[in-house]
Amino acid sequence: MYARLRPWLFRLDPERAHAATLRLLQLVGALPPLAAMLRKFYAPATSSPVTLFGLKFTNPVGLAAGYDKDGLALRGLACLGFGHVEIGTVTPRPQPGNPRPRVFRLVRDQALINRLGFPSRGADFVAARLRGSRPKDLILGVNLGINKDTNLERAADDYKIMMQSFSSLADYLTINISSPNTPGLRLLHQGRLLSDVLGEISPYKTTPLLVKLSPDLSDAQLNETLDTLLQHKVDGVIATNTTLSRPALADPAGKEAGGLSGAPLATLSRRLVGRIYTRTQGLLPIVAAGGILSRQDADAAINAGASLVQIYTGLVYRGPGLVREILGGD
């Protein structure tokens, strides 16, 4: 079904197509008969629960942050078979993000480039969306960022605001220090800055806390980051965000600035998962994200040391049936 729909979606600007998809999922999620039909169509054929961070996930496949930034379509997304959904990135105050165009399809490479820059309706809006009942058995994560005009030395203040807003509304929280589209944000990987941030926010931690990492870290940078995360007893990591590197790309849109995701990120992301697992001797749970467009990709990430996987660009190119495929239903 998605194979027939995709050519029509791809005629639209990527952001317009994405917004239309979210609106449709929001509508379906609000109408119980349609939601039931969607669940029946996309429900995984097998159950493969995973317990991690003290949480029981119905299966290891989740939706990565960035797809539903403001929590608009949570109920519809829950019908697609995900074991968890991570919304965001959310910023304390609303901000528009970077100027358009800012999302580019690399169809020949099964990839995307984005330079969105954390467009967000803000913490108050998203928190209001999450109050009330939640889809049954769905683990909810919220990805937290900082406002563009926040000085890095004050980054902890932004994270604290949002931990207070979302700790009671989410099953886990993720600190995003790895988006390449917010100036200076990746400097928070540095040991001192990261340690300062984690030290300041730790008194506000009442739910599992993860940190999302860049795929572009050198061995020395990664070791420093992991030492800091272990020191502060972070519950896990998400590996990885998008990359600024440019492997050989066939699509002319590959020259655009921004973070690259999709198939070209697979090798880099899997390699980082393996480095983290080896370096921490499996003591730091890993959620693999980046370049997962098939069951083989997901298996490779888990074999490298991940306990859970997340998809985003794979959903754009393969459609919602990818969840069932990864779980062995197709």
Q: What is the DSSP string of 15-39?
A: HHHHHHHHHHHHHHHHSHHHHHHHH
Structure tokens at 241: 């965000």
**Which is nearest to 247 in space by CA: 116, 109, 64?**
109
Q: Tell me, what DSSP letter sits at residue 185?
A: G
**Which is nearest to 19 in space by CA: 59, 60, 67?**
67
State the catalytic residues: 179
Coil, strand, or helix at residue 280?
helix
Contacts of 217 (CB under 8 A, 6+ apart): 189, 225, 272
The Cα-based distances of 58 to 29, 39, 319, 327 in angstroms read: 19, 14, 20, 11
- Check: CB of residue 226 under 8 Å from CB of residue 280: yes
Beta bridge partners of 72: none
Q: Tell me, what DSSP letter sits at residue 95?
A: B
**Which is nearest to 160 in space by CA: 184, 150, 321, 261?**
150
The Cα-based distances of 69 to 1, 15, 32, 94, 211 in angstroms read: 26, 13, 23, 12, 17
- Check: CB of residue 304 under 8 Å from CB of residue 272: no
303, HSE (Cβ side, Cα atoms, 13 Å): 6
